[in-house]
Chains A and B, each alone.
Chain A
C-alpha cells in the first residue's frame, strides 16, 4: 500500500524533522503525535462488492502524503496513514476502528467510507474526542456538530445533490418540460434523494429501485417499467456498477431518455471498464452534478498537479484517485493550520475557523463552523461529452443544505489558487 517517491529532499526533510524534534520540548499531547510523526487511520472497503473505485482512494491519499513527507512533512511531522479493510461491514469497521485507536494509537480518523459502517463507530470516536475527518459518504447524518463535534463529512449529502438536480431540472428549458422519473438503489441513496427532491418540488412520473447486488442481472423489469411510463428524463441514484448495468440494459431495450446521474455513480473509468466501446455513445449528453474541477480539465492547475502526483506513484488517473489526493491535500492544510503544537482540539478548531481558506480542487465554497460541519456546499451541473469526460455546464454553482425543506440556491464562487508546489 505504500507508494514512495524518489526525491533528493528525503534526507533534508528528515534532517529538518530531527532538528525540530530537539527544538520542541517534550509535552503532554494527544495520542498519535510525536515530534516527527502524525498517525492517522482510515477504514474503507479494499475488497468485496463495495471495493471497486473506493479501494483507490486511500492509495491516492498515501501518494500525496508520501509527497508531503518527502518534502519535510507538516510542521516537521510526517504523516503515517494506517488503512483497515472493513469490506463495507459495520462489524469489521468497528473492529478496525478499535485497532486503529488502541493499537495504532491514531491521532485522527480520516476518510472512513460508508454510512452504515461509520454509524457503528461515530459515537465512540466523538466520545473519545478523536477528530473524524472527511467521512466519505453522502449520508446526511454525520453533519451534526451538536451530536458529533469531531466529525466532518467529505462530500455534500445526497439530499444536497437531489436539491441541486431538482433546481437545475426546473431551470433548464430543455429539461423542465420532460416527464421525469427516478431510479435509485434501496437504502440511503433512495431515502436521501427522496427528501431532496421533495424539498426541490420535483415531481416524478414513476419511481423504481434495485437492491444492492442486483446489478449482477440486467435491470430488465425496471427499465421496462420506466420505458412504458414514458419517462423522458431519468434521474439515477446508485453506485457506478449499477449505472453501467442501467445504461447497458436501456440500450438493449431501445430506451434512450436523457440521463441525470449522481456524482458518486458516474466514474467514467469504471464505466468504460464495464461498458467498453459503448460507453461513449451511451454516456454522451448525460447530466452529472460535480463539485470538483472536471478531472480531465488538465488546463486547471489543481488537476494538472494532482495528475503529476498520481503519475509519479504509478496510479491510474480516475475520479477516485483525484478525490483521494484532493482530500489528502485538504487534510494536510488542516493539520498545518492546527499549528506546531498539534492537538485534537486544535485540529477541530483549525477546521472550524480556517476551512474557508483551505485550497482544493472543489469549486464550491467549503463552509465549516461550530454550528455546521457540512463542508462542501453544493455542485455545478456537468455533462458528459462524446469522449465520456465531464464538462462543466453552468458558470454558477448551486448551493443547498441537507435540511428537509429549502431549495438549492444559485451562487457564484471563484476558488483560490493552489498553494506552491501543492504543498500545504
Chain B
C-alpha cells in the first residue's frame, strides 16, 4: 500500500509537467487550430535561457520571469515567421514546418550551450518530506510545481471565460470571419494565443529542469506524452489537458513501479487507441459539426 501511495505521489509531479506541456499545445490549438510540434523545442530553448540567467545571477525567480518573456517572444516569432504564412493553406504543411523549427531549435541550443546535460538548481528544497516516520516522494519543490500548475490552469480558465481578451481569442479561433465582423482584431488574438502558449511551455520547462537535467533532446519524450494527453483530453480543453497530463504521469509511474518501465509507452498507446475508439474527439472535446 505504501508502494502504491509512493507511485501515485511520484507520478503526480511528473504528470504536472506533462500537463503544462499539454496545456501549451491546447493553447496553440485554441488559437490557430493546429498542433505545434516545436512546443517542446521552444520550452527547451527558453529553459536554457533561464539556466544561463540563473547561473549568472543565482536568482531563480528572475530566471523564470525571463524564460516566460522569452517563451512568449519565441512563440510570437514562430507564429510570424512560420505559422502565419502556412497556416491558412494547409495543416499538414504546418506540422512539417513546426517539425523543422524543432530540429533547428535543438541544433541551435546544441550550438550555443553544447550537448552535455546540465543541472538546474531548484529554488526550494527538493528532498522528500518526512511524515509518519518515513520519507515520501513529494518534496517542497514538487508542491511548488503542483501549485504553479494549478494556479496556471485556474488563471487561464478565468482568462478564457471571464475576460474580453479570452473571449475574443476563442471567437477568433472558432470563426475568424465572424469575429472580424464583430470588431475583434483577429490577428492580434492569434498572436496573443501563441505568446501565452509559449509562456506556458516556458514555465513547464523551467519547472521540470531542476527535477531532471537539460539537454537539447531532453524534452523529446515529453512531446509524445503531452500530445497524447492533449489528444485524449480533447485538444480544446484546458481541464482535459491537465487531467490527462497528470493521468499520463500516474500511468507511467504505476507501470514503471509494478511492471517494467518499457511497458509505459505501450500502455500509453493502448489507452490512447481505446480512448479514441470510444471518444473520437477526446473526452472533453467538442463534438460540434462532425463531418460524416
Does a CB–CB distance below 8 Å link A and B in the complex? yes
Which A residues from 242 to 261 make CB contacts under 8 A with B?
244-245, 248, 251-255
Find out whether the CB atom of B117 lies under 8 angstroms from the CB atom of A224.
no
- Kindly state whether residue A228 has any CB partner on chain B within 8 Å: yes
A385 CB contacts on chain B under 8 angstroms: none
Given known pairs A245-B212, A252-B126, the reply for A216 and B219 (CB within 8 Å) is: yes
B253 CB contacts on chain A under 8 angstroms: 220-221
> Which residue of B is nearest A278, CB measured?
B119
User: Given A55, A186, A275, which contacts B115 in the complex, CB threshold below 8 Å?
Assistant: A55
Find out whether the CB atom of A211 lies under 8 angstroms from the CB atom of B262.
yes
A209 CB contacts on chain B under 8 angstroms: 260-262
Find out whether the CB atom of B116 lies under 8 angstroms from the CB atom of A53.
yes
A123 CB contacts on chain B under 8 angstroms: none
A221 CB contacts on chain B under 8 angstroms: 6-7, 10-11, 252-254, 256-257, 261
Total cross-chain contacts (CB, 8 A) = 133
- Nearest chain A CB to B47's CB is how many angstroms away? 12
> Which residue of B is nearest A46, CB measured?
B115
Which A residues from 219 to 242 make CB contacts under 8 A with B?
219-225, 227-228, 241
Which B residues from 137 to 169 make CB contacts under 8 A with A?
137, 139
Find out whether the CB atom of B261 lies under 8 angstroms from the CB atom of A186.
yes
- Kindly state whether residue B32 has any CB partner on chain A within 8 Å: no
Complexed CA–CA distance, A218 and B130 (Å): 19
B128 CB contacts on chain A under 8 angstroms: 252-254
Find out whether the CB atom of A274 lies under 8 angstroms from the CB atom of B260.
no
- Nearest chain B CB to A14's CB is how many angstroms away? 34
Complexed CA–CA distance, A248 and B119 (Å): 10
Find out whether the CB atom of A52 lies under 8 angstroms from the CB atom of B9.
no
Complexed CA–CA distance, A211 and B137 (Å): 20
Find out whether the CB atom of B115 lies under 8 angstroms from the CB atom of A47.
yes
- Nearest chain A CB to B269's CB is how many angstroms away? 13
- Nearest chain B CB to A404's CB is how many angstroms away? 23
Find out whether the CB atom of B6 lies under 8 angstroms from the CB atom of A52.
no
Complexed CA–CA distance, A225 and B5 (Å): 11
- Kindly state whether residue B272 has any CB partner on chain A within 8 Å: no
- Kindly state whether residue B124 has any CB partner on chain A within 8 Å: no
Q: Mark A161-196, 1 if CB is under 8 A from B, else 0.
A: 000000000000000000000000010000000000
> Which residue of A is nearest B136, CB measured?
A253
Q: Mark B1-38, 1 if CB is under 8 A from A, else 0.
A: 01100110111011001000000000000000000000
- Nearest chain B CB to A50's CB is how many angstroms away? 9
Complexed CA–CA distance, A217 and B261 (Å): 12
- Kindly state whether residue B222 has any CB partner on chain A within 8 Å: yes
Complexed CA–CA distance, A376 and B3 (Å): 42
Find out whether the CB atom of A52 lies under 8 angstroms from the CB atom of B110.
no
Find out whether the CB atom of B213 lies under 8 angstroms from the CB atom of A245.
yes
- Kindly state whether residue A51 has any CB partner on chain B within 8 Å: yes
- Kindly state whether residue B184 has any CB partner on chain A within 8 Å: no
Q: Mark A31-67, 1 if CB is under 8 A from B, else 0.
A: 0000000000000000111011101000000000000
A98 CB contacts on chain B under 8 angstroms: none
B257 CB contacts on chain A under 8 angstroms: 221-222, 224-225
Find out whether the CB atom of B13 lies under 8 angstroms from the CB atom of A48.
no
- Nearest chain B CB to A215's CB is how many angstroms away? 7
User: Given B6, B119, B127, B219, which contacts A228 in the complex, CB threshold below 8 Å?
Assistant: B6
- Nearest chain B CB to A35's CB is how many angstroms away? 38
Which B residues from 102 to 130 make CB contacts under 8 A with A?
107, 110, 115-119, 121, 126-128, 130
Find out whether the CB atom of A218 lies under 8 angstroms from the CB atom of B14.
yes
- Kindly state whether residue B265 has any CB partner on chain A within 8 Å: yes
B9 CB contacts on chain A under 8 angstroms: 220
Find out whether the CB atom of B262 lies under 8 angstroms from the CB atom of A274.
no
The residue among A216, A252, A274 with the most chain B CB atoms within 10 A of its own CB is A216
A245 CB contacts on chain B under 8 angstroms: 212-213
B10 CB contacts on chain A under 8 angstroms: 218, 220-221, 224
A51 CB contacts on chain B under 8 angstroms: 115
Find out whether the CB atom of A216 lies under 8 angstroms from the CB atom of B218.
yes
B273 CB contacts on chain A under 8 angstroms: none
Find out whether the CB atom of B14 lies under 8 angstroms from the CB atom of A228.
no
> Which residue of B is nearest A215, CB measured?
B212
- Nearest chain B CB to A410's CB is how many angstroms away? 35
User: Given B7, B119, B220, B222, which contacts A275 in the complex, CB threshold below 8 Å?
Assistant: B119
> Which residue of A is nearest B130, CB measured?
A254
- Kindly state whether residue B264 has any CB partner on chain A within 8 Å: yes
A5 CB contacts on chain B under 8 angstroms: none
User: Given A47, A216, A225, A251, which contacts B212 in the complex, CB threshold below 8 Å?
Assistant: A216
> Which residue of A is nearest B2, CB measured?
A228
B126 CB contacts on chain A under 8 angstroms: 248, 252
Complexed CA–CA distance, A221 and B7 (Å): 5
Q: Mark B201-221, 1 if CB is under 8 A from A, else 0.
A: 000000010011101111111
B270 CB contacts on chain A under 8 angstroms: none
A224 CB contacts on chain B under 8 angstroms: 3, 6-7, 10, 137, 257
User: Given B137, B215, B262, which contacts A252 in the complex, CB threshold below 8 Å?
Assistant: B137
Find out whether the CB atom of B221 lies under 8 angstroms from the CB atom of A213.
yes
Complexed CA–CA distance, A210 and B259 (Å): 11
- Kindly state whether residue B178 has any CB partner on chain A within 8 Å: no
Complexed CA–CA distance, A53 and B221 (Å): 20
- Can you give 17 A-B contacts (C-beta < 8 A)? A47-B115, A47-B216, A52-B115, A55-B115, A208-B256, A209-B262, A210-B256, A211-B261, A211-B264, A214-B264, A217-B211, A221-B11, A221-B254, A244-B117, A252-B126, A252-B139, A273-B119
The 7 lowest CB-CB distance pairs between A and B, nearest first, are: A220-B10, A254-B135, A221-B257, A224-B6, A221-B256, A221-B253, A49-B217
